[in-house]
Chain A
Amino acid sequence: MKRSNSPIFWALFGAGGMLAALFGTMLVFITGIAVPFGWTLSPDLMNYARMHAFAQNWIGKGFIFVIVALFAWHAMHRILCSLHDIGIHKGLLAKLCCYGGAMLITLIAAVKLLAIGF
C-alpha cells in the first residue's frame, strides 16, 4: 500500500488549528471589533506608525507570518476534506486550488513582510 503524504498537510493543519484555537478568538476581537470601533482598546493601537514598527521587528514579523500562513494551511486542508465529504474528489485540481491557495497566501505574506524591511 502506497504511503500517504497526508502527514505534511495534517501537521500544518494541526499547527494552524492549535494557533487558531489559542489565539484566533482574541485576535478577531482585537483587530476586527475592539480597535476599529474603539471598544476597550484605542483605535490608535493599530495606527500606521505602531503597526509598521511591529512588522519591522523580527518578533512581530514572525508572529504575523505564522498566524497568516498557518491559519491558511489549516483552513485549506479542512476545506479540501470538506469538499471530499460533499462528493468532490480530492483530485489534482482540488488539491492545487486548496493547497495552492494556501501557498499563495503564505508567499504574499512572506514577500510583503520582507518588503516592509527591518
Chain B
Amino acid sequence: MSEAKMIEIQVLRYRPEQEDEPVWQSYSVPFTDDMSVLQGLQYIKDEIDGTLSFRWSCRMAICGSCGMMVNGKPHLSCQTFLRDLAPGPVRIEALAHFPIERDLVVSVEPFVKKLESVKPYIIPKEPRTLEQGEYLQTPEQLAQFEQFSSCINCMLCYSACPQFGLDPDFVGPGVLALLHRYNADSRDGGQAQRMEIVNSQEGVWSCTAVGYCSEVCPKHVDPANAVNQNKVNSAKDYFLRFLSPKGASK
C-alpha cells in the first residue's frame, strides 16, 4: 500500500468573533491526482477542522459559488487541481477586492444589487402579442450576445479588476457584460434605459482596459469586450445627444 501524497494547503482564516485581522493557517492534506482544490478544502472541513467556512455547490464550474484566490490568482476551486499545484504549498485566500465575512466567504450583496440595477431582461422594442409568434434571429444576431449570456456570476473578474478594487462603486466587468448581453440582443429595445449606468463614472468610465477580467473568466465571456465596446457607445451618446432629442438618454 503506497503512502498517500501529501500537500500543504495554507488558508487565510478570518473569524470576526475571535480575531481583528485575518491569519494564515496551514493544513497537511492527502491528495490524489483527480482532486480539486475544493475537494482539498472539503477534506480539511470533514477531517481536520470543521470551522473552515467556504461556499460551494455544483462542483462542476457552473454555479459560480466557489471562487477564491489560489496562489494569488482568482480561480474556481472546483476547477483547479491539486496535482497542478504540487508540491505546494497552496495558498488560498478569499476573492480579492471583496470584504471578507469569514474565512473564504466574501460579501456579495453589493454585486447582486448591481446585477439587479441594469434591467437584466428583454425590454421589447414595441408591445408584442402572442399571435405575432416568436422572435426570429439569425445565427449572427445570436452570436452578438451569446457569449455574454454565459456569465455564471462567479465574480472572478471583480477579483481580477484593480479598478473595482480601488473603487468598489464601479459597476464592474460582470455586470456590464450582463448589461451588454441585453443591449446586444436584437430582441431588446432598452438601450436608452440602460445608458444612464453606462455613461456614469461608475459605469464604463472606471475601466482602464487592464484586460485581466477576460483572462480569468472561466466561461470565456470576455467582459473586457463588453465594457470597452460600450465606451464607444457611451462616447457616441455623449457627443451626439444634442442631435437627436427623441433618441437621446438623460
Contacts and interface: CB of A to CB of B under 8 A. Distances in A.
Interface of A: 1-8, 10-11, 81, 84-85, 87
Given A85-B162, A85-B166, A4 B239 contact: no
Given A2-B201, A4-B199, A81-B208, 16 more contacts: A1-B200, A1-B202, A1-B203, A2-B200, A3-B238, A4-B205, A6-B205, A7-B205, A7-B234, A8-B238, A10-B205, A10-B231, A10-B235, A84-B166, A85-B162, A85-B208
B62 to A, nearest CB: 32
Contact of A6 (B162, B166, B201, B250): B201
Contacts of B197: 1
* In the A-B complex, the 8 residue pairs with the closest CB atoms: A1-B200, A7-B238, A6-B205, A7-B235, A4-B201, A4-B205, A3-B199, A81-B208
Nearest to B231: A10
A3 B250 contact: yes
Contacts of A11: 235, 239
Nearest to B249: A3
Interface string B220-231: 000000000001
Contacts of A81: 208
Contacts of B201: 2, 4, 6
Contacts of B235: 7, 10-11
A81 B235 CA distance: 18
A84 B190 CA distance: 33
Majority-rule SS of A interface residues: helix
A87 B202 CA distance: 17
B215 interface: no
Task: Report the interface size class on chain B.
Answer: 10 to 19
Interface string B140-165: 00000000000000000000001000
B196 interface: yes
Nearest to B234: A7
Contacts of B162: 85
B10 to A, nearest CB: 28
Interface in B61-105: none
10 contacts: A1-B196, A1-B199, A1-B202, A3-B200, A4-B199, A5-B238, A7-B238, A8-B238, A10-B235, A85-B208
A85 B238 CA distance: 25
Nearest to A78: B208
A27 B199 CA distance: 36
B69 to A, nearest CB: 20
B198 to A, nearest CB: 10
B119 to A, nearest CB: 14
Contacts of A1: 196-197, 199-200, 202-203
A75 to B, nearest CB: 14
Contacts of B203: 1, 4
A73 B202 CA distance: 23
A1 B171 CA distance: 12
Nearest to B200: A1
Contacts of B231: 7, 10
Contacts of B239: 7, 11
Interface in B150-202: 162, 166, 196-197, 199-202
